[in-house]
Structure 1
Amino acid sequence: HMTRLKENQEAMDRGEWNSMPPQQRQDLENTFRHTGQMARYTNIMGLKTLIILDMITQNIQSIFCQPAICERLALMLNYFLQHLVGPKRRNLKVRNLSEYQFEPQKLVAKVTDIYLNFSQHDEFYAAVWNDGMSYNEQLFPQAVEVLDRIGHPRERIDAFLKLTEHIKNVAAQQKENDAVYDDAPDEYLDPITSTLMIDPVMLPSSRQIIDRATIARHLLSDQTDPFNRNPLRMQDVIPQTELKQTIEQWKTSRRQQQS
């Protein structure tokens, strides 16, 4: 909505609306007002949502570190931060920010606080790194520039800046592990992601074996078996305890060989 508002304001500034027929101009003005109302509502609710999420994750992190949820949370935070502090932030700059309740500094501060709430959970930071769409090594330093300008507490800024190096270390460890397990047998690999399964389960109708995290992620948006489209619920999947143990034994063996 903010991007659309900016485009409309720029069109008005260029005088493009002045040459339009009265009815067309009236329609555009109505649309502009509606977009402004939607932008204001979205901005208010977005900040409130981040405030609540920060309050929750200060005390509870484990539930958000479940693989399916962890990945989506990391993608969301990276996406927000990239639009707020990256090159695309210019697309959000409109006249009269207060009219639309758009407070980018508060949003940046709250998003960075949420990242810090997961300081003891490397699986979250691995998900941050694995986001190839919004995350890059310049993202957090760009956020720090904003935090400095708004006078965010120094200790919070320093802690957040250190996350960049910590995420790089987590990523390096992940790459090292991937190299150790690179020649895993096909039966140990997830059929959708082609990655080594951690918690294999069987889907009751298709009888396909898949990692629990992969099917959980799929079921968040589509409550069907991805192999035959039959209805599926998470509670119906069948744990493959023996296969899980076999994979763990193989991983232990591979680590011992590497050392």
Structure 2
Amino acid sequence: DDKSVASLFFNPQIRDREARILNFFLKYLTIPEERKKLKLRDPERYNWHPRQLIAQLASIHVRLFRTNPAMWIEACVADSAYLGGSPSILPECVKVLRSLSLLPEADIAELQVLHERVGEARKVATEEEEEFDDVPGEFEDPLLGTIMKDPVKLPSGSILDRATILTHLLTDQRDPFSRLPMTESDIVAEEELKERIQTWIGEQREAVRQKKMQATAGEDMDVS
């Protein structure tokens, strides 16, 4: 059934990548300025059916969201390119789907809910990071300035978050620093750095929690 098949997409190795790929193609199929780049003079000759493709990609989003809402929201939040560069992908997709009646209304509404919940989750994550003390430079992604979740070393020796470089490689098969050819197989995981980042995040979260508890206790004691 749909759920058993969809569950296969939640393997940690491929989940976030699937979200990036879906959003990458939907960007060029739904954002008005991007859609212009895909116009063909003779689409039938190339078997080009963008409406069908949009419906299929949107359906995958909906089915994965239904299968495991929390994990799929997390995967979409991890897609920094979607959130940072084109946060209107899903709303634009909803507009196209509705205007052309490409999917049942229930599916379209669910896609809108996904967009809203991804936005809420990202806002919470961003607010949490803003409460952290100064982030060590080595913990930050040099391209995005965000805390890395899964740092990897590139052939040039530079370190990026895995999500950042995989998104980059979707459109440019070159090391963003040296500009030399590279593929995903050239990436080397930085496990020791990842462990230090996770430890630091845990310490920061505990520090924030303690501050909030102290602030609440102070308010409770202030009876004047």
TM bucket by the smaller chain? 0.5 to 0.7
SS of corresponding position for 1:117? helix
Displacement after TM superposition at 1:117 (Å):
2.7
How far is 1:177 from its partner?
3.5
Q: Give, as a single letter, the amino acid of the residue that structure 2 aligns with 1:117.
A: R
CA contact (8 A) 1:201 1:239 kept: yes
Aligned to 1:214: 164
1:246 aligns with 2:187: no
* Unmatched tracts of structure 2, length 5 or more: 210-224
Question: Where does residue 222 of structure 2 map in the other structure?
Answer: none
Q: 1:139 to 1:237 in 2, by over 3 A?
A: closer
Higher mean alpha-carbon deviation, 215-224 vs 239-248, is at: 215-224
Task: Tell me if structure 2 keeps the 8 A contact 1:200–1:210.
Answer: yes
AA of the residue aligned to 2:95:
Q
Structure 1 counterpart of 2:92, one-letter code = L
Distance 2:46 2:173 in 1: 35
Match of 1:255 in 2: 205
Amino acid at match of 1:110: Q
CA contact (8 A) 1:189 1:197 kept: yes
| Amino-acid identity (%) | 26
1:142 lines up with 2:95 in the alignment: yes
Task: Return the TM-score normalized by structure 2.
Answer: 0.62
Correspondence for 2:135: 184
- 229-238 or 154-163, larger mean C-alpha shift: 229-238
Shift of 1:78: 3.2
What is the CA distance between 1:60 and its match in structure 2? 3.9
2:79 is aligned with 1:79: no
The whole-number CA distance in structure 2 between the counterparts of 1:251 and 1:199 is 13
Distance 1:157 1:218 in 2: 29
Residue pair 1:202, 1:210 contacting (<8 A) in 2 also: yes
Superimposed CA distance per residue, residues 19-62 of structure 1 (whole angstroms, 9 cap, x where no aligned partner): xxxxxxxxxxxxxxxxxxxxxxxxxxxxxxxxxxx9xx846424
Whole-angstrom CA distance in 2 between matches of 1:164 and 1:217: 19
Q: Structure 1 residues 216, 139: closer, same or farther in 2, change over 3 A?
A: closer
C-alpha distance in 1, partners of 2:132/2:108?
A: 37
Q: Read off the aligned partner of 2:127 and give its amino acid letter.
A: E
Aligned mates of 2:92, 2:49 — CA distance in 1: 19
**Is the CA contact 1:105–1:146 (under 8 Å) kept in the aligned structure 2?**
no
Equivalents in 1 of 2:99, 2:119: separation in Å?
A: 22
Q: Which amino acid aligns with 1:114?
A: I
Q: Of the two, which has the highest radius of gyration?
A: 1
Unaligned stretches of 5+ residues in structure 1: 1-53
- Tell me the CA shift for residue 65 of structure 1: 2.8
| 2:60 matched residue in structure 1 | 114
* TM-score (norm: length of structure 1): 0.56
| Superposition deviation, residue 253 in structure 1 | 0.9
Shift of 1:187: 1.5
The AA in structure 1 aligned to 2:164 is T
Q: Is the 8 A contact 2:140 2:147 kept in 1?
A: yes
Q: For this pair of structures, how many residues does the alignment match? A: 195
